Amino acid sequence: MTHFVRRRITGLTLVVVLSLLLTAATRLMEDNLLRPRTWLGWVLVVIVLFLASYRLRKQLAMLPLGASAAWLQCHIYVGLLSAPVFLLHTGARWPGGGIEVVTAVLFLTVFCTGILGLFLTRMIPPRLTDRGEEVIRERIPVFIRILREEAEASVAGAKNAAPSEVLSDVYLNHLHSFFQRPKNFVSHVFHSTKPRTALLNALDDTRRFLNTQHEQTMEQLAACVRRKDDLDYQYAMQSLLKYWLFLHVPLTWGLVVFTCSHVVTAMAFTSR
Amino acid sequence: MSQASVNQSSMDRPRRWDMPFSQEAGHDSVLTDADIDSLLANDAFSRIDPAGFKRSVPLREILRNDVRIVDFEQGDVIVRQGDWGSSAFFVLSGAVRVELDRGDDASSDLIQGRQKKPRKTFFRSLAQLWQNNHHAEFRNPDAKQSVSGNLRSVGGVTRVYISDVSAVIEQHKTARMDAGHWFGELAALGRTPRVATVFADETSTLLEIRWQGLRDILRFDRDQGLKKYIEDVFRERAMASLLRTERLFADISDQEMADLMPHCRLETFGEYDTAKPFRELSGENAGSVKNEPLIAEQGDYPNAVFLIRSGVARLSQKHHAGRHTVGYLNPGRVFGLREVLQGFRSGRSTGYEARLSAIGYLNAVVIPASIVEDLLRSGAISDPEDSCRPAVHATHDAVDENLLNFLVDGKYVQGTETMVIDMDRCTRCDDCVRACATTHDNNPRFIRHGPVSVRHMVANACMHCLDPVCMIECPTGAIHRETLGGLVLINDQTCIGCAQCASNCPFDAIRMVETRNASGAILVDSKNAPILEATKCDLCHDQPGGPACQRACPHDALERIDLQSLSELEGVIAR
Ligand code: SF4
Ligand code: SF4
Ligand code: SF4
């Protein structure tokens, strides 16, 4: 068993055991006419603040605050534990009151985006490694420009040969916009190769109208299409890996604000 | 440059002596026939027999092309302790002084262009948040000026000089070397760090010889006078401690060591011309075991044991029509001992298990097998049952042959802190890059990009190589090793932005950056040219938590790995 598998099993076991213990404690408190919800509320506040503090750890890279990887592991498993605590705190019922509803909605969306992020960060990297060359996302537009120039140069034809009209038409009708910027985001996210196949088919269909030299040009164009499609794939997947954080992080700050408001109103209410 | 010359598709193949040493950057004296005659009459070369030299490499041409005559003013620093040597010196006239202090002395650091940065405390690290200038690469021009006061420019070469020689002689233990002495030859041949700082005691003229020329003289001189001299120096200063690094010889008595040493030879292999051919080696010719200089052939009778002093060697075995890499050996590792011991035990000799070839360049001590057997027979050394360190790494499951080839061919096995990223775990979040920028003048010291083997990327970050060729030719000693064999660091106060290190680094790990003042304007000199500085990964040596990039990676993807053995890498892969 590898270190990572062992770590996963330990983390999940801890989450399950703690959830069961918390459930048992809640039952016990209820049986003794104590108010476990308030107590669970405070546990949830601590959990939310701890989860949000991971962002601060990232900002303070210069401090010896422990490895980010260790923080992330705690972030994941404490995040998972937050779900049963939330259910116990709310009694698995939809809350009343404006602030409470917004807090609950924020909690659930932050939790779901967290799970989505976990899934994406585990699924996408090996796929990126498998397909196309490794590229830095910010450099992709530059590589696209280079590919576009290469494709346009091959359509324009070699020095002494006239360009093929058929290929020029295909380029203008199908490839010109394809080579302008990253394309087919949604298809790539869903791993569909339809757009790529369609473009390659459009090129291949011209074969019967081409002489040997133009056929070579067509092959070069097809190679450019494949490379551009790989770049698009890298762009889409790397963007996905970045974009989910644009949901998760701002929502987390929203959750912190509403959690505080909820605490203040709840305390005001109970002290009345 | 004319249009025609830029477009021409062929050129004369560059040859070894296209650029004589005496005309390399900053030197433009040409050695005339009269100069060479007078050199040949000098003690340094008078006993060498020119008849033993190959027709393609005659002694006169070696002197003409691999030697230069350099004048030094009193106080000029000639070599600095810790610099990587690639040439040796002979005092023709005048005298030099060798600094014998090896302590952590501040004035000595200034002479050497070094800088000691203490590790930051927790609060000083935190204070970086508001104290650091928010512009990238901010430098305080005053701090730089105070050190450049000790620089002088001679021809095109910048030299550090000691302004008060008598004070240094008073405060430090030094020894004077008059005309007729060699120095720096061991570091030059072994491509090892200089062990002492040497400066001119008075106006002096020195002969400087490239290590390639020195190597050829040692190889072809029938008289063997110079070779004997160098080997004697090596035996006197370094051989015993090197031999004792091998477990087998660790405990032999001083007398036995004294008996053993005269039989051992110091040999260099390979055509390692400064950094440029190394660059080429790590580029187009990568992977061609065929082109590597052979040291010992698989299956041959094991008549010697090789103890590697510097450089890296490849172990390969025959496989059908080609060869596959089965491992590599770094300094301190031995080759051939296993076979010699097996032969001794069984009374039947077995050939070498693998071919040993130099990856570019290698310096090794060669111990004749018969001597090892004599020592075993006499009981001076005992046959270790576990057969010493294995010569051949079994290609372990975790590090498959593909990855091993990638590391050896790309010369990444040089790295003691190689940045390896597992691309199957890396989410391309750039937290590592941001952490590096936060801790280093708002500009990351590495690029999260580099060659990939299946799923492992060797990122473009300084690997703190075992043999840091970037350190050769730095005129001020600004690029240096923290301790012998330690981190490779750049002192930003003594870096003059000449870019020698950046062009020498075979891995493009050093970048020249434009420096800025507090208001963010680019610093320029009197001719309006930007003030550049070399920057690279310093392994966060002054940060309290260690490498920020590694600590910042949330997915356990980025690791700094010592590739001197495969065990660390195996550990990381098997996680
Ligand atoms: S700068 Fe280059 S040659 Fe020098 S230690 Fe770093 S990687 Fe090696
Ligand atoms: S060790 Fe430090 S300086 Fe080097 S790349 Fe990592 S963060 Fe940058
Ligand atoms: S921090 Fe880790 S996961 Fe993120 S880009 Fe760097 S190596 Fe990859």
pLDDT of B283 over the 50 cut? no
Residues B318-336 have a mean pLDDT of 85
pLDDT of B15 over the 80 cut? no
Ligand nearest to the CA of B534: 1
Does A62 contact B at CB distance below 8 Å? yes
The answer, yes or no, to whether any atom of ligand 2 lies below 6 A from the CB of B461, is yes
pLDDT of B567 over the 90 cut? no
Query: Which of the pair, B10 or B140, is modelled with greater confidence?
Result: B140
In chain B, which residue's Cα lies nearest the Cα of A57? Answer: B552
3 state SS of B103: coil
Q: What is the pLDDT of residue B447?
A: 94
Mark yes or no for CB contact B125/A63 under 8 Å: yes
In chain A, which residue's Cα lies nearest the Cα of B447? Answer: A136
Give the global pTM. 0.79
Find all residues with CB under 8 Å of A197, minimum gap 6, and list them.
none
Tens digit of pLDDT for each residue in B71-127?
999 989 898 887 777 789 999 999 999 887 655 554 455 555 566 667 788 878 788
Query: Which of the pair, A150 or B227, is modelled with greater confidence?
Result: A150
- List chain B residues with CB under 8 Å of A65: 545
Mark yes or no for CB contact B554/A134 under 8 Å: no
Tens digit of pLDDT for each residue in A239-249?
999 999 999 99
Q: What is the pLDDT of residue B347?
A: 82
Mark yes or no for CB contact B425/A125 under 8 Å: yes
Residues B28-50 have a mean pLDDT of 84
Mark yes or no for CB contact B553/A69 under 8 Å: yes
**ipTM surpassing 0.95:** no
Q: Measure B424 CA to nearest chain A CA, in Å.
A: 4
What tokens appear for B452 in the block? 């990939």
CA B510 to ligand 2 centroid distance, Å: 13
Residues B52-67 have a mean pLDDT of 88
Please list, residue by residue across B219-250, b when 16 or more beta carbons sit within 10 angstroms of its beta carbon and e when fewer do. ebbeeebbbeebbebbbeebbbebbeebebbe
> Using 50, 70 and 90 to split pLDDT, how confident is the model at B566?
confident
3 state SS of B177: strand
Query: Which of the pair, A272 or B435, is modelled with greater confidence?
Result: B435
Tens digit of pLDDT for each residue in A160-183?
667 778 888 888 888 999 999 999
The answer, yes or no, to whether any atom of ligand 2 lies below 6 A from the CB of B446, is yes
Mark yes or no for CB contact A61/B128 under 8 Å: no
Q: Which of A61, A71, A134 has the CB atom closest to B548's CB atom?
A: A61
d(CA B474, CA B465): 16
Apex B8 CA angle, B2 and B12, nearest 5: 110
Low-confidence residues of chain A, pLDDT below 50? none
Which residue in this structure is represented by tokens 């990009």? B449
Ligand nearest to the CA of B554: 3
Interface size, chain A vs chain B, as Cβ–Cβ contacts under 8 Å: 90
Find all residues with CB under 8 Å of A79, minimum gap 6, and list them.
A51, A111, A114
Q: What is the pLDDT of residue B529?
A: 87
Q: What is the pLDDT of residue B11?
A: 47
**Residues A72, A78, A80, A82, Cα dihedral to 10°:** -140
In chain B, which residue's Cα lies nearest the Cα of A6? Answer: B575
CA A185 to ligand 3 centroid distance, Å: 23
Query: Which of the pair, B222 or A116, is modelled with greater confidence?
Result: A116
Tens digit of pLDDT for each residue in B126-183?
887 777 777 888 887 776 655 555 777 777 677 888 878 888 888 888 889 898 888 9
Share of chain B above pLDDT 90, in %: 23
d(CA B418, CA B562): 6
Q: Which atom of ligand 2 is nearest to the CA of B436?
A: 7
Q: What is the pLDDT of residue A196?
A: 94
Q: What is the pLDDT of residue B284?
A: 42
Ligand nearest to the CA of B557: 3
Q: What is the pLDDT of residue A158?
A: 56
What tokens appear for A94 in the block? 């939809």
Mark yes or no for CB contact A68/B554 under 8 Å: yes
d(CA B80, CA B109): 10
Mark yes or no for CB contact A61/B574 under 8 Å: no
Ligand 1 contacts (CB < 6 A) are B 462-465, 468-470, 488, 505, 507, 509-510, 536
CA B539 to ligand 2 centroid distance, Å: 5
Mutate to test the interface with A, among B424, B427, B433 (most CBs of A within 10 A): B427
Does A241 contact B at CB distance below 8 Å? yes
pLDDT of B507 over the 70 cut? yes
Q: What is the pLDDT of residue B273?
A: 45
Question: What DSSP character marks residue A209?
Answer: G
Q: What is the pLDDT of residue B277?
A: 43
Apex B412 CA angle, B406 and B417, nearest 5: 135
